[in-house]
Structure 1
Amino acid sequence: MYRSHNCGELRASHIDTEVTLSGWVQKSRDKGFIIWIDLRDRYGVTQLVFDEERTPKAVFSQAESLGREFVIQVKGTVIERASKNPNLPTGDIEVLVKELTVLNTSLLPPFTIEDQTDGGDELRMKYRYLDIRRNPVKNNLIFRHKVAQAVRNYLSSKDFIEVETPYLIKSTPEGARDFVVPSRMNEGQFYALPQSPQTFKQLLMVGGMDKYFQIVKCFRDEDLRADRQPEFTQIDCEMAFVEQEDILDTFEGLTRHLLKEINGVDVAKFPRMTYDDAMRQYGNDKPDIRFGMQFGELNEVSQHKDFNVFNTAELVVGIAIPGGNSLTRKEIDQLTDWLKRPQIGALGMVYVRCNDDGSYKSSVDKFYDETDLKQWAEITKAKTGDLICVLSGNTNKVRAQLSALRMEMATRLGLRKPNEFAPLWVVDFPLLEWDEDTKRFHAIHHPFTSPKPGQLELLDTNPSEVKANAYDLVLNGNEIGGGSIRIHDRATQAIMLKHLGFTDEQAKAQFGFLMDAFEFGAPPHGGIAFGLDRLVAILGGQETIRDFIAFPKNNSGRDVMIDAPAPLDDEQLKELHLKLNI
């Protein structure tokens, strides 16, 4: 056998035990007459000792030639360590080696395989198999496994059945761009990789499965950010004979279970907020409620003077930065420049200092007096020592800009604490949104989301006012899950597709199989999908998902380790009926 114990389990109770260990050489310290080697595997590190007096000469000579990351097997005796290491679980012992076998040599690694490494992101991604040996990455993957197991155990205990759905499906025009796969056997036709198993899980409800879940890989050909990958993993769930309240209760329970099981955190009942309130108070539909700085709308108290910047604005809105009056004029100017960056796009910022003596000093004192500024402070809930930051312009744009400022200042002030968790349900989303490019409405969630009860008729008269029977679960300012109650009858689904611009022929071609299924006794049903990558990252105290994925893509969507995507040779293209030399 290669090992009797792993490198993380030996303790003082094992002293005088004969053991066999295998692993990688972490580091070597050669004092001439004695050599210490740290042997590492997935479970930990054990110190080996090669002593000129107690170790066979040939074995000692072998030890002198060992390099970093050599794979070795040793046999020896556990002895008490003279200089104990309290920071290491195995720090009370070491293994006096009697036999050494080199299982494989190693080139010098391109970066140090240690917690604090000298390798940059791109280099470590190229050699990801080496990066996984480092504790931070290894522990993240183990953490992900624990979360996934906790999810499976919880849902299984609630009578959910895990069912696999197809990866080769039909492309649909709604949502993000599909990754497509040419069919060799069906010339000129293509599969798509699923953006989600949406229609299949609905068909499972028609099939009577009642409660379904799947931890499933999904694919979207879209621009990437820190929390986006072209392939990602969902906890995909669906339930039959449910209303919105049933879904929220069930998956609030799952989230509470994960926070307790994984993080040891107890969370009371999750607050709920409508989409309209989230946009009005926080400027986005996934607000971080771990801290305040809620928006204060100032139109009524700012558009009565000769300041045309405000008078011509659709919305004037501000927030109070706690302790912000301590910022110097130079620092405020730098903050204004930060807002003017193309990524944010603000034209400028008005500010008001809330002085210790109760007075106010603003950048627009020429237009507004103390009475005006005091009203601004009351509306933004500013206190003595705060700084009120005010933006104005188009409602949607200015809300997004102020939301970015709110999050930036919360980060600078240390208010976004990774070990503090604040979940929130956001409900009552709009069903549709208007797209100026295509000059038609698009479904905010997807075409199978039902309108709120009693609002179907509004689709003909005022479609932008129709609310969706949909909900998002937000955790610490990140959407970790979203879902809806689905349409479950053919007539309603046909009406929805019509308002999304589908002709009867297009609807039949794209979704005929689902609409046909609705005619065979489809039950009321609804569901939700969690982004596992993002959920794991947040539970792990981070917001970047890449470190919790074994083999992630870079920001260009490339796998630099295997050099993919890559061109196909002419023969493969010919078999797939694709043009050569594309």
Structure 2
Amino acid sequence: MRTHFCGLIDESLIGQTVTLCGWADVARDLGGLCFIDLRDHEGIVQVVAEPSDAEGNAAVVATAAKVGYEDCLRVTGSVRRRESVNPKIPTGQVEVVATAIEVLNKAEPLPFHHHENPGEDIRLKYRYLDLRSPEMQRRMRTRTKLVAALRRWLDARGFQDIETPILTKATPEGARDFLVPARMHSGEFYALPQSPQLFKQILMVAGFDRYYQIARCFRDEALRADRQLEFTQLDMEFAWVDEKTVQDTVEGMVRDVFREVAGVELDAFPRMTWAEAMRRYGSDKPDLRIALELVDVDALVKDSQFKVFTDAAGVDGMRVCALRIPGGAALSRKQIDEYAAHAAKYGAKGLAYAKLGEDGAVNSPVAKFFDEAAFAALLAHVGADKGDIVFFGAGAFNTVSDFMGAVRLKAGRDFKLVEDSWKPLWVTDFPMFEWDDEAQRFVALHHPFTAPAVDDVDELRANARTATSRGYDMVLNGNEIGGGSIRIHRPAMQSAVFELLGIGAEEQQAKFGFLLDALKYGAPPHGGIAFGIDRIAALMAGTESIRDVIAFPKTTTAQCLMTGAPSPIEDAQLAEVHVAVRAKDGA
């Protein structure tokens, strides 16, 4: 139906006849002289329908005059140089003088215009229209280029692309599973995979050595800007490796792919332990583009009269820290309260502060709990200067780190302290376990197949609360784009980790017996990593939401507005899979 793409018409085609297909992005009738900006997935070119003595030209102009927004057209015409160049588009040097215009499909009045700024709900309801926009076309093409570049890189280095099952077994760790009733096995269910983790480990036992997969994964968890119920990851696994081998390999891959797809040269990848990242930045995915750092001040506040500080200072598992914000003394009391409210979202019960005026005067509700010299020493230790504000946090180490890290990010944005750059790093040596007070048991910080740093089962049991793992995350500009670990490859250690997680011997066999059996038969040391395709594509495309690089995403309420999913199922179909729907409590 066409000879060329709209966005690829250039000066080399001047004088030639072309046939184009696309949508009318803009149509203007200037009293017999008509202009149409014709758009396809490659871009836009200007089409002109102008009066002439050519046979049939009047009909062309008449058709052009009736063209409306998003009408689907086929245009034939000759390419000529434009009198008025448009430097904003690649085709801006030329235009197509129409000799035939065919309306392939007339568009009804649209619910929104691409040149407007419609809300996300209406964009997702009419996603097929939203995806037509040049910006969404650019974002989705970035994603396509990313996946293609990753495949080329891995294929060239001997990685095997192996598909793993979508219908699999439910496991008791991680997020909630999506369950699928098994029609041929009454009362039994498959689960959609949260990741191919166990299958890729078994592939290492099977001798495939280097595996990868562009894998669809499913987790029934709360949605946010960087999380969806279903998502895509680059899944990788290596046999006969240690952490450095995995990290060096995938670091090279990420460098090459960012250079090819985004034209970005990434800085060096520093390595930072989890403990250091939390201490300095209050996050296990620190954004190094912001130079602000948390400073521990336990030793300088332990002798104060402020109980919030003294109850936490020097106590195991607690911390008191400070964050200096240059120029922050300009914050009003209302703005300081907004920072406190922001910190409260992350567990803060309050946010103490000290403002230093340009005259050096200190304004702080906690200064009265210190003698003047001690408070001056505290501010000096933090590096506070005239015109600065210092925020303080005290309490449980992880809670304080979380809310002070959130304050750091907000301050970085508010005070325009985010460097325009790309800052990658590795975060390593994660804790092996976290203690769940509500459940009164350990939970795995990464997943239960991550190897501990110690190789002795008895030593792990004796020091479970302080044990570190061989896990590692790749972080870029405050986003975790990849996470992995060296895996447990000995069945005795895997059983011990399960036991520490409260998974008894019987449940181990029921849920993970196939893995434990596989580890008995000469499983090699192995490790791997998974990268979030959606997150990387969003970074490359310059958008904060992964919904902008997913063709048909769900809303934050876990709905597809376009199709109406999820939706009720008829009783007959439910009966086929031996499922009955129970009414909600109180219904």
Normalised to the residue count of structure 1, the TM-score between the two structures is: 0.95
Amino acid of the structure 2 residue aligned with 1:319: L
Q: Which residue of 2 aligns with 1:365?
A: 367
CA distance in 2, matches of 1:78, 1:146: 30
Q: Which residue of 1 aligns with 2:349?
A: 347
C-alpha distance 556-56 of structure 1, shift in aligned 2 (>3 A): same
Tell me the matched-pair count: 576
559-568 or 517-526, larger mean C-alpha shift: 517-526
Matches within 5 A, 1:371-520: 371-417=373-419, 419-454=420-455, 456-520=457-521
Matches within 5 A, 1:197-276: 197-276=196-275
CA distance in 1, matches of 2:321, 2:535: 31
Identical columns (%): 45
Amino acid of the structure 1 residue aligned with 2:329: N
Amino acid of the structure 1 residue aligned with 2:510: A
Contact 2:43-2:134 within 8 A present in 1 as well: no
Amino acid of the structure 2 residue aligned with 1:336: A
Q: Which residue of 1 aligns with 2:46?
A: 47
509-518 or 549-558, larger mean C-alpha shift: 509-518
Q: What is the CA deviation profile of residues 214-261 of structure 1, one whole-angstrom value per residue up to 9, with x for unaligned ones?
A: 111100001111111000111100000001111111111122223322
CA distance in 1, matches of 2:399, 2:178: 31
Structure 1 residue 140 corresponds to structure 2 residue 139: yes
Deviation at 1:484, TM superposition (A): 0.8
CA distance in 1, matches of 2:266, 2:33: 54
CA RMSD in angstroms, aligned pairs only: 1.9
Deviation at 1:490, TM superposition (A): 1.8
Deviation at 1:333, TM superposition (A): 4.1
C-alpha distance 34-268 of structure 1, shift in aligned 2 (>3 A): closer
CA distance in 1, matches of 2:455, 2:203: 27
Amino acid of the structure 1 residue aligned with 2:350: G
Deviation at 1:96, TM superposition (A): 1.6
Give the 3-state SS of the residue equivalent to 1:495 in structure 2. Answer: helix
Q: Which residue of 1 aligns with 2:191?
A: 192
C-alpha distance 457-359 of structure 1, shift in aligned 2 (>3 A): farther
Contact 2:39-2:45 within 8 A present in 1 as well: yes
Give the 3-state SS of the residue equivalent to 2:457 in structure 1. Answer: coil
Structure 1 residue 6 corresponds to structure 2 residue 5: yes
Q: Which residue of 2 aligns with 1:107?
A: 108
Normalised to the residue count of structure 2, the TM-score between the two structures is: 0.94
CA distance in 1, matches of 2:78, 2:51: 16
Contact 1:352-1:389 within 8 A present in 2 as well: yes
126-135 or 472-481, larger mean C-alpha shift: 472-481
CA distance in 1, matches of 2:77, 2:425: 56
CA distance in 2, matches of 1:450, 1:147: 31
Give the 3-state SS of the residue equivalent to 2:164 in structure 1. Answer: coil
Contact 1:449-1:485 within 8 A present in 2 as well: yes
Contact 1:485-1:526 within 8 A present in 2 as well: yes
Amino acid of the structure 2 residue aligned with 1:285: D
Q: What is the CA deviation profile of residues 337-391 of structure 1, one whole-angstrom value per residue up to 9, with x for unaligned ones?
A: 4434xx2343333222345566644333322244223322343233443221112
Contact 1:161-1:211 within 8 A present in 2 as well: yes
C-alpha distance 18-541 of structure 1, shift in aligned 2 (>3 A): closer
Give the 3-state SS of the residue equivalent to 1:402 in structure 2. Answer: helix
Give the 3-state SS of the residue equivalent to 2:367 in structure 1. Answer: coil
Give the 3-state SS of the residue equivalent to 1:235 in structure 2. Answer: strand
Contact 1:229-1:553 within 8 A present in 2 as well: yes
Contact 1:297-1:379 within 8 A present in 2 as well: no
Amino acid of the structure 2 residue aligned with 1:42: H
Amino acid of the structure 1 residue aligned with 2:336: I
Q: Which residue of 1 aligns with 2:82?
A: 81
Give the 3-state SS of the residue equivalent to 1:388 in structure 2. Answer: strand
CA distance in 2, matches of 1:557, 1:451: 35
Contact 2:28-2:65 within 8 A present in 1 as well: no
Matches within 5 A, 1:8-27: 8-27=7-26
Contact 2:32-2:61 within 8 A present in 1 as well: no
297-306 or 420-429, larger mean C-alpha shift: 297-306
Contact 1:243-1:485 within 8 A present in 2 as well: yes
Contact 1:73-1:100 within 8 A present in 2 as well: yes
Q: Which runs of 5+ in 1 are unaligned?
A: none
Q: Which residue of 2 aligns with 1:547?
A: 548
Contact 1:458-1:466 within 8 A present in 2 as well: no
Amino acid of the structure 2 residue aligned with 1:376: L
Amino acid of the structure 2 residue aligned with 1:372: A
Amino acid of the structure 1 residue aligned with 2:504: T
Deviation at 1:165, TM superposition (A): 0.8
C-alpha distance 330-433 of structure 1, shift in aligned 2 (>3 A): closer
Contact 2:296-2:320 within 8 A present in 1 as well: yes
Give the 3-state SS of the residue equivalent to 1:465 in structure 2. Answer: coil
